[in-house]
Amino acid sequence: MNTPKRHDRIAFVASAGEEAQAALTQLTNLYGNCAPAEADVVVALGGDGLMLQTLHQHMRTGKPIYGMHRGTVGFLMNEFSTRDLRARLAEARESVIHPLLMRATDIQGAVHIHHAINEVALFRQTYQAARLRILIDNHERMQELIADGVLVSTPAGSTAYNLSVQGPILPINAALLALTPISAFRPRRWRGALLPDSAYVVIEVLEGEKRPVAAVADHDEARDVRRVEVLSDKTIAMRMLFDPGHSLEERILREQFGH
């Protein structure tokens, strides 16, 4: 028999919105507000943007993160309620996700290293389409992709920007990454690829001076890149908590059926 996990010390973080700030005041009055370093769990009040920010901030702490929706988009959040929060936390189901590690080298030879929870994306910086060469595990898989860009998505990020550019939805526990083109011109019919999450992805920018490209890991951007390396960082495991019946696995499954 499993013993419910105790979450006595709660750290609340909230976005700047009126709803989120009001919720912060309510919950702090009811449950107190611990410093994140001393807390058993971090509760994020806002939307998916705040959840990503909170996950980034606590990426290496191993602390579980529980979100409640008090923002705009709430795919990663639970429903908001001030009642029985500690009981909800004790009964919550855990999803473990690994971020992507991006290593981007720019035109000056400077190296930019960032983590991404959703995706690493390359975008054209001007009116001209990007020309890209794609290697997987040091093997050339596409000699030339002409497109607005390309992205590598985690399962957690597969319902975000990846979905909006017609990429596949991945189950949260799938050992896969999605490689998805953004408005591909050539090859016209290429819709992307599913890769094992052990894959080492390298994207080289062709004609970079004429066709400059930026690389973005969630919200961290490097401009005028020449080479971008992407892999799943298994040294980091982030723990997200969801109410029973509303797990990330269930949400992604529902999304595939249009709910």
Which sequence positions are flagged as catalytic? Answer: 48
Is 16 exposed, middle or buried (CB count within 10 Å of its CB: 0-12, 13-18, 19+)?
Answer: exposed
Between the alpha carbon of residue 238 and those of residues 62, 95, 163, 233, 243, the distances in Å are: 6, 8, 22, 11, 17
- For the chain, what is the radius of gyration of the CA atoms? 20
Q: Bridge-partner residues for 134, per DSSP? A: 142, 203
Cβ contact 100:110 at 8 Å: no
Three-state DSSP state, 26: helix
The residue to which tokens 């975000």 are assigned: 160
Cβ contact 106:229 at 8 Å: no
Cβ contact 130:211 at 8 Å: yes
Determine the Cα–Cα distance for residues 86 and 4; give it in Å rounded to an integer. 11
Cβ contact 95:72 at 8 Å: no
Which conformational region is residue 205 in: left (phi greater than 0), alpha (psi within -120 to 50 degrees), or beta? beta
Phi, psi of 16 (to 5 degrees): -80, -10
Determine the Cα–Cα distance for residues 247 and 251; give it in Å rounded to an integer. 6
Which conformational region is residue 4 in: left (phi greater than 0), alpha (psi within -120 to 50 degrees), or beta? beta
